[in-house]
Structure formats: C-alpha cells, structure tokens
Structure 1
Amino acid sequence: MPRPKVTRAQALAWRLRRQHLLDGAADPDEVVRTLGMLAIFGSDPDLAVRRRLASPGPPGEVQRALGEGRLLRTWARGAVSLMEPATAGRFLVIRAAGRQWARKSWVEFYDLQPDDWPDLREIVRGVVADGPVPPQAVADALARSRRFAHLAPQFAEPNITLLKPFSWQGDIVLGPGLDGPMLLQSPEATRGWRGLPDLAEAGRAAVLDYFAAYGPATRADVHHWLGDGLSAGRSRVERWLDDVTDRLVEVDVDGEKVWHAGDLVDQLLETEPAGRVVLLPGKDAWVFGPGTKHTWVVPPATRQDMTRGVAPIVVDGVVSGTWRVGDDTLHTAWLDEPSATVAKAYDAEVARLSALVGRELTPSG
C-alpha cells in the first residue's frame, strides 16, 4: 500500500485545527486534555486556553476551572504544568518511573531510604486531605514524627525539589489559586482524578495522545515529549512506540517519513492549508509540544526567542515573528515583511486578541 502523501502546510493546518486554533473547543477542559500539559511559569495559560475556545469568556477561565476542580496544576515537567485530572495520572506515573528519590545522592542528602517513602507519603497524604493547606502544615506533622522530624524544615521552607516526588506519585497537587502563597491539596479534590495508571498502559496512551494532538510526528518528537520532558528513559519510550505501531500509519510529508494516528489519516489527507495568523503567548504548547528544535514550526532564526519564552506570531503554523504588548500598543517583529494576505489575516487576529484581553490594541508601524 503506497504511503499517504501530504505537504507540510497540510500537516500544520491539521495540527492547528486539532489543537483548537482554527475552530475552537467547547471548554478549557477539552483544550488542556488535547494538549496534555501546558506551561504556567513564563507563559499565560489563560490566554493560551481562551485563544482556543469557540466562545471564550472573560479573563480568568483557567482560574475558574481550577477553582471548580476541572483542571489541576502540579509538577510534571521541570516546572509546574496545567493538566486535566483524568489524564494527569499518565504524565505523573511516567515522570515517577525514574525513581529519582532512590538515587544515592537523594538518600544521603535527605537521610531517607527508598523504603521510608511509603510511611512518609502516608503522613503527607493525611495532611493535604484537609487541604488546601500551606506546606507548613506538613512540616508541623513531620515535626511530631520521630523518623521524619528532620524533614520538617524542608517543607517549611519549602524545598520544591523534595515536594516534586510527592506530586509524581499522586500524593499532592498545588492549590487552585494561580496567585498567592503556595498551598497543597490532594488530587482527589479535583473532578475526574483516576489515580496513577499502570506505567506501560500510561506510556502507550501518552504516545497515542501525542500523535493525536501533535502529529504527524517522528519518533524523535515523542522522545522529546516523554523522554526529555518527563525523563521517561529512551528504552521505555521505544517500547511504547513499538507497542502502538499497529495504530500508526507512515506518512510522507514533503518527502520526509513521519507517523500519524491511523484513525486520523483521512482527516489529514482532506485538510487544506489554513491561511491563518495566530498570536500565542510565550512557551505555548504549539511550540513546546514539538520543541524548539522542531524546524517545521520553529525556524532556526527564531529558536532563541522561543526558548526564552517570547510570544510568537504563527503564520500557517510556522513561527514568523514575535509580539508583545506595551500599554495599548501591539509591538511586532517579523522575520520577513508579511504579504498583503498575511497582513489581512494578522489584522483579524489583532482584533481577536483585543477582544481576549478586553481592550483595543493598536499595532505599531
């Protein structure tokens, strides 16, 4: 059977639609579930989500969803990520697979053996079950424990490095407030939390979810998402990829061999280039899902800006410049002078952005 052929413009147009950047999703839950993980620090998750809604409400959609337990935020990648509770366990169990807390350096520094963790986790879970609570509440409980009293200062500070494994093992998530002091609570406080699934099951599901949102893609792209991002380990990712090969189809994208979700290939073949300009916040999933080395999306001339978290101007899926708002002025820096067609699409996107931020923005120049 011949390999299906599409152009890169078609592939990126399909991805734009799949990530709700053309038609819009029904609610924030759907957006976050599709994208998997959204960066919080150095980004604007509310703008990232509201730009993807068919009928966005006023600013604060993400905060409202967090307050209602429809989304959660916790450590998965290096920093805090926004996730949908029903699928969050997949990413957390993958991140926990490396058992960082069992390394010799951890054991010696924290005076904490791997077999101490079940008892320690039970104490922590008991405290946050009444959450949201400040980390000091956990410190107070540990101070009363003969075995773990020496760890109380680590929670009182708090030591983020030590908190992360409790997140990865499904014991804690951060409180629902995006602003204010740090609070901890149980993931059970969120709707749809299903606990941590079997690792292999989670890995296979995460691979398929990646192709469904970020395809067509290469195996290297999946390694970036789960290996570099979650420290899953190369052999594990390769095994999960092999396990789901029968659900993937090899596709030719302008001569490059890539893979796509088998049940979505017909959609891909029917997709036409979108002719759309999109203004996204820095560190948006559009860029960070495939990674800043992914030249389909990030030309080399823009990679440094994208790594730093500068907000991108995306034209037909490709980063074509950057933008920022100063007062009510929208300042842009284009790689190349936009064509008349792109300029018209850009004007429409500026109007959309103005509506999202609640004030009229005047483009500079």
Structure 2
Amino acid sequence: MVLTWGNVLAWRLGRQLLDPVGTGSVVDVVERLGAVPAWPDQALEVGIGVRRTGGRTGDGTRALEEGEVVKVFAFRGAVHLMTPQDAGAYLVVRASNRQWELKSWRDYYRLEPDDWPRFRAYVREALDDGPLTRSELAAALGRSRRYRHLREIVAEGNVTLLKPLSWQGDVGLGLPRDGEETYVRLDRTPGWGGLPDLEEAGPRVITAYLRTYGPAVPERVHDHVSKSLAAPARAVTRWLADVESRVEHVDVEGERLLVHPDDLDDLHATRPSASVRLIPGRDPWVMAPGTTDPHVVPPAHREVISRTANPVLHRGVVAGTWAVRRDRLEVDWWPDSGRVPRTALAEESAELARFLGRELELSLTPAA
C-alpha cells in the first residue's frame, strides 16, 4: 500500500484519541499524549474532554486534585499535565540545559550552581506539611537569611525561579487557593516515578513522540525535543541516532519518515478520516508537530494558529477556527478548506455544548 498524508493524519487521529474518540479516563488521555497544556483552564478541560466519550468539564481538575496527574512546568516553559509515572523523563530532558547556571540567572537571583542543592532542599522542606500558595512560599523564603532576597521576587509573581525546581523533580503545581496558585512536592504524589537517568530519558521521550505524533521526519522530532523542551541540540542528535537505529522508515508522498515498528501494520491498515473535531488552542495535535508543519496547518493560516486560536480540524488538517461567545459557537471556516461539512460541524457543536453544560447556537462563517 502506498501511504499518503491522509493515512498518516488518520493514524494520528486514532493514536491521539480524536477519531475514534477514546473511552478511557483522564489519566489515559494524559498518558497517551505525554503532556497536556494546562493553561488556560477551559483549554485544558476541552483538550481532555474532546478525547473522551461522556466526559465533563472539570474532569481534568478533579484528576489533579486526586493526585492522578501532576502539573509541572515543561514544554516551552508553560504548565502541563503529565502522569506521575512519565513526568520524570520529560523533566530530566527539560533540565538538561541547566538554564539556572546561566550568568544572567546567577546575577539576577544571586544563586550560584553550588547553591541549588541546598536551595532545593529548603523549598522541599517548606512544602513538607502540604501545599503552599505563592505568597506563603515567598514568606517561607523570607524566613531564611540565605534566601530572603528572593521573597519579593516570588511574591510579585515571578515564577521563573520556580521552574527549575519543577524541572529537577522537586515542585509541582496544585489547585489554586485564595486566588493564588499553590505549589506541592512532586515526590508526595502517589505513583511518582522519580527521575530516570538522562541517557535513558532522552530516547524514551523521542520514542513516545513517534508512538503518538509520528510518523515524522527526523528534523521535526529533533525540533520537538531541542526547541520545545530546550534540550541541548547535541544530546538530542545522539538520542535520535539511538532511536533511529531501532525504528523503521516509510515513504509518504516523497518524504522519508520515522515510524515505530510496532505501529507499522496499523499505519498501513488505517484509511483517511473524514472527521471534524473542535480542539483548543495550544492543543498537542498542533503544537507537537509545530505550526510550521504544512500537513497539519496550511501555511497561509499559520499566523492565526500560532496566536493560539482554537482550530477546527477536518480530516486532521486545520480548516478554520472556533470560539464561544456568550451563547454562540462561532466557526470561521476558511474558504480554501473546501466544502463546509455542515452536518459534522452541527454534531460537534452539540457535543461541545453537552460538554460545557450550556446551550450553544452554531454560527458559521461563511454563512452561505
């Protein structure tokens, strides 16, 4: 069978629980995707809900509250939900560039590389009795002669200092309290898998990418890890070579792509999808390959999707955008996306309304 991008996108839709929609738990969705963007809250909930039959808004938040998932700083410096078992591999890769050792960091935060082990231990001890709000954590820093200079930095909302604590497996984010985010010890989460060795984690992260977001050209895999996770390019090249020696290659419309051998038969058996799905901005469907992937995001519309508009998917390709305004679901269908699948859009509108628990009137542009 000659593979086309229609086959590839349909396979990805299945792997990412978009077509067919998954029937599992929130944990199943997060585990499959590896990482789910966790901000803003509605985008988090829609990103999970669109992949589960019968899901309700708030399911993602409840999973975090119950310790089934963790919330950490990861890709592109933003917060993501991950499973406690898998988070460590992504965090080790993210920490591998040791950003906190840059001169700009040392000068601003007045912490030298040798200071970090003791600083990490102090923050973990401050969180021993449970979650602290940002203000409470700032106050704890203020009680230390060694770290009181950091109190105002944290109190004023600068969370950049706290990101390496997440990358090094110390601190995650909990549920907000009194209008502030809270911070928790990751090693107190049930099922926390700890931090694997970096040389194990790198190939593991790349393999996970291929299993959910492949097949892919090596350059796109490299960018995902070296740019989105900020891992050193030389290390990513080494990990990719290790993985590439153990995977297969397929030709898709003249492009040579990497595919995991366990997925090869399923890929060849998958037929193009006609599905229509409404996904949130920053969804992994778009962010994992990147908005530069012309097979997912038409180049003429890259700018609006890069500004995190909510995509409408048709056959796996972004075909327009959507937004909820009051009691209206406004869909902007791009003229170059072909015939409008009105029935499928109406069904998606009804499903989104059910998920959000509100009435929605579909407003389609163009109306004709």
**Equivalent residue, structure 2, for 1:82:** 81
Q: Deviations over 1:101-128 (max 9, x none)?
A: 1112222222211111111111100111
**Which has the larger displacement, 177-186 or 196-205?**
177-186
Contact conserved, 1:95 with 1:230, CA < 8 A, in 2? yes
In 1, Cα distance between equivalents of 2:248 and 2:259:
5
- Secondary structure of 2:319's counterpart equals strand
Q: TM-score, normalised by structure 2?
A: 0.93
Letter in 1 for 2:97: G
Any stretches of 5+ residues in structure 2 without a counterpart?
Answer: none
Number of residue pairs the alignment of both structures matches: 361
**Equivalent residue, structure 2, for 1:10:** 7
Measure how far apart 1:71 and its partner are: 1.2
Letter in 2 for 1:20: L
Contact conserved, 2:133 with 2:177, CA < 8 A, in 1? no
Measure how far apart 1:339 and its partner are: 6.0
Contact conserved, 1:72 with 1:84, CA < 8 A, in 2? yes
Letter in 1 for 2:49: R
Measure how far apart 1:327 and its partner are: 2.1
Letter in 1 for 2:3: V
Q: Deviations over 1:52-75 (max 9, x none)?
A: 01332x211001101100111121
In 2, Cα distance between equivalents of 1:25 and 1:128:
36
- Secondary structure of 1:15's counterpart equals helix
1:20 aligned onto 2:55:
no
- Secondary structure of 1:247's counterpart equals coil
In 2, Cα distance between equivalents of 1:110 and 1:341:
54
1:273 aligned onto 2:280:
no
Measure how far apart 1:35 and its partner are: 1.1
Q: TM-score, normalised by structure 1?
A: 0.93
Letter in 2 for 1:204: P
Between the two proteins, what is the percent identity of the paired residues? 42
Among residues 36, 60, 67, which one is paired with 2:58 in the alignment? 60
In 2, Cα distance between equivalents of 1:349 and 1:341:
13
In 2, Cα distance between equivalents of 1:158 and 1:36:
28
**Which has the larger displacement, 60-69 or 343-352?**
343-352
In 2, Cα distance between equivalents of 1:239 and 1:339:
42
**Equivalent residue, structure 1, for 2:125:** 126
Q: Deviations over 1:217-273 (max 9, x none)?
A: 111221222111111021111111111123311111112111111111100000001
**Which has the larger displacement, 322-331 or 227-236?**
322-331
- Secondary structure of 2:223's counterpart equals helix
1:361 aligned onto 2:360:
yes
In 2, Cα distance between equivalents of 1:324 and 1:170:
36
Matches within 5 A, 1:1-365: 5-23=2-20, 24-42=22-40, 44-56=43-55, 58-77=56-75, 78-177=77-176, 180-336=179-335, 342-364=341-363, 365=367
- Secondary structure of 2:85's counterpart equals helix
**Which has the larger displacement, 307-316 or 190-199?**
190-199
Contact conserved, 1:282 with 1:312, CA < 8 A, in 2? yes
Any stretches of 5+ residues in structure 1 without a counterpart?
Answer: none
Q: Deviations over 1:284-312 (max 9, x none)?
A: 11111111001110001221111111111
Contact conserved, 1:25 with 1:31, CA < 8 A, in 2? no
Contact conserved, 1:66 with 1:177, CA < 8 A, in 2? no
Q: Deviations over 1:190-234 (max 9, x none)?
A: 232111111111111100000001011111221222111111021
